[in-house]
Chain A
Amino acid sequence: MSADSAQSGGLAITGLVKRYGTVEAVAGIDLEIQRGEFLTLLGPSGSGKTTLLMMIAGFQDATAGDILLDGRSIVATPAEKRNFGMVFQGYALFPHMSVRDNIGYALSVRKRPRREIAGRVEEMIDLVQLQGMEDRLPAQLSGGQQQRVALARALAFAPPVLLLDEPLGALDRKLRIEVQAQLKDLHERVGTTFIYVTHDQEEALSMSDRVVIMQSGRIEQVGTPQELYSRPRTRFAATFLGKSNFLHRDGRVWALRPEKIDLHVGSSGDDRTTGKILSQTYFGSVLNYRVETTEFGVLEVDVDAWRGGAALRPGTVVSIGWHDEAVVPLED
């Protein structure tokens, strides 16, 4: 392969807009994506994340703006000339072709020699651990195996950028967590830039180098998972990534994560307020309380279940406190 994926794959998106009639699906996006980065576009349905991905892939034209790959504009390049790998929602494997032919397709349409294709296919089969499945048709594979074939097919021609459109949506929860780890591991091994679209915050947090939170066609906030979780800038970012309480103080809104609140019976020095437990819900590792406080309304509090001892009954009067850095001012 001539294209060494470690040497390219940096993307710059400037002022990108996609308009359908009067609706702006993508309303002006500026984004730098480093080569080799695992970047996640996270947002609810209708946030424009999939449209943005399709524009990067070349399946949607841009109404305005530009997309640069390693400094060269690709906004007018047709999809088949962009050389971006893509894993589609539902995988979109070729149903009439064997696993081998699916994976070799990109090289075969590039008219590479037969021996090179066979060698590369074998390499990819090893990479995604599908040994022994080469001659099966997609319909004869499980969902997880199909997902791996889709990955191998998209990576076979060593693209500088791999686009993934909710690739885990069709898998059950247990398998999804397993595949998340595999994907992250794969990313580290191949060094390709990954752009990953999902509405699942857990996937976004666990795999990404950086996460882009999108809403209504705009970028709400960009940052590492830690930055986004600990310093959300807007109310939307605070609720879409994790849970949050909102405190109104000094004419501002502040975010406060439920697990950063201390809750105990009786009082201690640094209490902020007192309250009465409304309800409790058990989640295995965490006990969640809804507490009616005197100053801040109803607050959600998460307590480590193993540390909390016996669950407090509704009606119990408790004291509530938090560290100063636990509250984050929002921009709203």
Chain B
Amino acid sequence: MIRLRYFAHLREQLGIGSEELEAAANVDELIGRLRARGGKWAEAFGSEGQVLAAVNQEMATPRTPIRDGDEVAFFPPVTGG
């Protein structure tokens, strides 16, 4: 299992802060599974939406591999400072 976390606008849009799922091979495959949920998920993870990913608290790309026990986070572009 992997732990998923959602932040900021994305968390509010999806109405969920975290969940557990079966591991996917990489970030791209995981996004595909989330998008397949349809509705607000398809919208949030569609090509229009700009979503960043982190695996184990490091910025990730679509090809970043995911392993059992990993923490994967999705969030919008950052706006601190």
Answer yes or no: are A and B bound together in one complex: no
Residues of B within 8 A of A (CB): none
